[in-house]
């Protein structure tokens, strides 16, 4: 799986960040609907889809943006996640 130009990630078949999020939520008795997940690349799509609210970073790939409930105004290098959380979560 490509996540950044020049970077390739290898994953065990059948496992992804969505599976991990669902298992974490189940083990900790957290409803998926109460989980916010933030990502930016293809490997984050299953996690964003599994979460109750999925957010893609402004610099994220088009596929990730397409499945997200929201897209940040700023990218990773501009502290997009922090600014998003400050504006929409920590109010």
Rounded Cα gap, residues 71 and 68, in angstroms? 7
CA 33 to each of CA 25, 56, 81: distance values in angstroms, whole numbers, following the listed order: 10, 17, 20
pLDDT in tens, the chain (91 residues): 556 566 767 677 788 999 999 999 999 999 999 999 999 988 899 999 999 999 999 999 999 999 999 999 999 999 999 999 999 999 8
> If DSSP codes are grouped into helix, strand and coil, which group holds residue 26?
helix
Could you tell me the pTM of the whole model? 0.85
Residues in contact with 51: Cβ distance below 8 Å, sequence separation at least 6, in sequence order: 21, 32, 35, 36, 37
User: Where in 1-91 does DSSP place strands (E)?
Assistant: 2-4, 7-8, 36-39, 53-56, 70-71
């Amino acid at each position: 799986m490509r996540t950044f130009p020049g970077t390739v990630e290898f994953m065990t078949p059948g496992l992804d960040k969505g599976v991990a999020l669902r298992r974490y939520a189940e083990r900790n008795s957290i409803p998926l609907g109460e989980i916010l997940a933030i990502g930016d690349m293809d490997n984050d799509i299953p996690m964003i889809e599994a979460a109750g609210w999925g957010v893609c970073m402004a610099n994220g790939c088009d596929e990730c943006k397409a499945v997200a409930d929201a897209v940040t105004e700023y990218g990773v290098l501009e502290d997009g996640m922090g600014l998003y959380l400050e504006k929409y979560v920590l109010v």
